[in-house]
Amino acid sequence: MLRRYSLRIVLIIIAFFGARTLSFAQQDPLERNLWYNEEKTAKIQIYKATDGKFYGKIVWLKVPDADGKPKVDKNNPDKARKNDPVLGLMLLKGFKKDGEKGYDDGTIYDPKNGKTYSCKITNKGTELDVRGYIGFSFIGRTTVWTKAD
């Protein structure tokens, strides 16, 4: 009886850790880490939504406050959004996986100037090449995001 009970406990433990490993293995490499922006002033969490596309939001700011209050999206062209907090702000929207390391058809929002650009991302392991552009990708700018500790 004790032996059968012990065997069940061991099987439950194996099943639990096996399920955790399986869910981690199914997770896309972009989702496994937080990413520093190029200046290391923000950490961005990228996740796959139920629509199968990838999105990214700011989850940490080096300096979260301005004038004693939480930083807001003051440069947003939509007046109704100018008081939205920067912490939690959605920067990346609608990316589709393209091959092993590429993600495209998305947009990136730059809170420094309030503009949204077409964007593609290339995963280089511990770095992401994030290329924002207008029209054609060869007319744009690439920033390098690094894996956060």
**Per-residue pLDDT tens digits for 36-56:** 999 999 999 999 999 999 999
What's residue 18's pLDDT?
Answer: 44
Q: What is the pLDDT of residue 26?
A: 77
Decide if 31 contacts 24 (C-beta within 8 A). Answer: no
User: Does the CA dihedral 66-71-76-81 come out positive or negative?
Assistant: negative
Q: Is the pLDDT of residue 137 over 90?
A: no
pLDDT given for residue 138 in this prediction: 86
What six digits make up the tokens of 61? 């700011």
Enumerate the H helices of the chain as residue ranges: 2-26
Per-residue pLDDT, averaged over 113-134, amounts to 97
Look up the pTM and report it.
0.81
The confidence score (pLDDT) of residue 59 equals 98
113 has pLDDT over 60: yes
What class does CATH assign to 33-62+90-147? mainly beta
